[in-house]
Amino acid sequence: MSATKVYESPARALAGIVTDGMSVAVGGFGLCGIPEQLIVALRDSGVRGLTCVSNNAGVDDWGLGLLLQTRQIAKMVSSYVGENAEFERQFMSGELKLEFTPQGTLAERMRAGGAGIAGFYTKTGVGTVVAEGKPHMEFDGEQFVLERGIRTDLSLVKAWKADPAGNLIYRKTARNFNPMAATCGKVTVAEVEELAGLGELDPDRIDTPGIFVQRIVVTTSVKRIEQRTVSA
């Protein structure tokens, strides 16, 4: 690791920490709050056989959809896969493995992993395919299913502001899965819009403490709109 957490480009921020077959947690919801330029840099690194933990895979030509185009993802751990035709094609043809996880459960699995919690019991999914093969336990007369906390080799997140220590502030709905993803990675790289000086961020506004973040890169995001609906 460098003496500074701030790197000059997404490619430099990923240098030396990406390898074939690694697991990667990626923040975002659809195209909102995704680490756009880090995903591009991950694609350009050429690593393959990735297991990606993310709410979804973006769209066909942006977000994690870029890594599906190049066949760099071997497995997705996701809760929603409805906006990506290439995702569907690869899954239906057996080229892509999928671990389907209810959305709230996915968020809690990442949060639990970051908090050092190996597993937890939830009612969500009991009696469905997502509970098949998992341990069950009865609490107060009701069945619960055991879900494992998620720890990944790498986490990629998008924040609004950061300081050189790695403290992060997210903006509105772009926060989504980013705080949980930021904690569950052994190494976390944050793509940010603004870099403040040390001491300039209000401590009460910080969403992710810098202890969870190893690398930062300032980028200009495209911020594409996933679905635009306008009146005639």
Per-residue pLDDT of 84-105, as tens digits, reads 899 999 999 999 999 999 999 9
- Between 23-37, 97-111, 187-201, 216-230, the lowest mean confidence (pLDDT) is in 216-230
Mean pLDDT of the 2-10 span: 89
Residue 163 lies in a domain: yes
Average per-residue pLDDT in the chain? Answer: 95
Residue 25: predicted pLDDT: 98
Paired tokens of 219: 């980028």
What's the first-to-final CA gap in the chain, in angstroms? Answer: 53
- Taking the CA atoms of residue 137, residue 149, residue 29 and residue 203 in that order, the dihedral angle to the nearest 10 degrees is 120
Paired tokens of 153: 């080799």
| Position 3 pLDDT exceeds 90 | no
Q: Which residues face 146 on adjacent strands?
A: 121
Based on the structure, what is the number of domains in the chain? 1
Residue 155 lies in a domain: yes
Residue 47 lies in a domain: yes
Tell me the one-letter amino acid at 15.
A
Paired tokens of 184: 């569950």
Residue 52 CB neighbours (<10 A): 24
The Cα 191–Cα 37 span in angstroms is 8
Residue 230 lies in a domain: no
Per-residue pLDDT of 63-74, as tens digits, reads 999 999 999 999
Taking the model in full, what pTM does it have? 0.95
Residue 135 lies in a domain: no
Residue 135: predicted pLDDT: 98
Residue 71 lies in a domain: yes
Residue 84 lies in a domain: yes
| Position 1 pLDDT exceeds 60 | no
Of the candidates 170, 159, 151, 194, the one whose C-alpha atom is nearest the C-alpha of residue 25 is 151
Instruction: Please report, for the domain that includes residue 32, its CATH number.
Output: 3.40.1080.10
What range defines the domain where residue 162 resides?
6-111+151-218
Q: Which residues face 190 on adjacent strands?
A: 157, 216
Q: Label each residue of 216-232 as H, E or C.
A: EEECCCCCCCCCCCCCC
Would you place residue 125 in the very low, low, confident or very high pLDDT band (cuts 50, 70, 90)? very high
Residue 67 lies in a domain: yes
